[in-house]
Amino acid sequence: MRQPTGFSPKLRAAAFGALVLLMPGLSACETLGLVPVPFIPEDTPSNLTVDPYIWAGAKETLNFLPLASQDPVAGRLETGWGEVSAGSGEQVRVVVQIYPGPVSADSVAVAVYRRINGVDAGVNPQTAVTVQQAILLRARQIKTALDEELY
């Protein structure tokens, strides 16, 4: 059995009516600029179809390698061969595929290729996972830094 609340049915109806009337006003806060709009990283391609933070994070994480190609529509970055350390003869190449969606491990696939003195060499499978995690970490750092600028 329901316990009486102490409020009359007319008062409850009036309170509910006031709440319904106020709801459109609350949703207008976004149009007044009271809800923050996320900043987009600089140099983001206008035709980018994937998360701009992951895109920027991937480019920054791999900036020590020469960029061979980038396709913002497909969300694909490919580096050229770059030396790991000067004079070592060891080179790596990375291909990053970014999928639409939020910043998560499912939104980035990484392939790492390695060669020593021009001969293909094996790559530890954990290397691609480490690069993927570094890209996602940098994407989150960029988003956090840009969001903090808003305030």
Please tell me the pTM assigned to this model.
0.70
Q: Specify the pLDDT at position 3.
A: 55
Residue 106 forms part of a structural domain = yes
Residue 126 forms part of a structural domain = yes
Residue 44 forms part of a structural domain = no
Query: Is the predicted pLDDT of residue 4 greater than 80, yes or no?
Result: no
Instruction: Give the pLDDT band (50/70/90) at residue 145.
Output: confident
Instruction: Give the pLDDT band (50/70/90) at residue 98.
Output: very high
Domain that holds residue 138: 52-150
Burial class (CB in 10 A: 0-12, 13-18, 19+), 136: buried
Q: Specify the pLDDT at position 10.
A: 60
Residue 26 forms part of a structural domain = no
pLDDT tens profile 10-34: 655 555 554 444 444 444 444 444 4
CATH number where 75 lies: 3.30.530
Q: How many domains does the chain have?
A: 1
Comparison of pLDDT for 87 and 9, the residue scoring more: 87
Tally the C-alpha atoms within 13 A of residue 119's C-alpha that lie toward its C-beta.
1
Comparison of pLDDT for 151 and 106, the residue scoring more: 106
Residue-level length of the chain = 151
How much is the average pLDDT of 39-64?
85
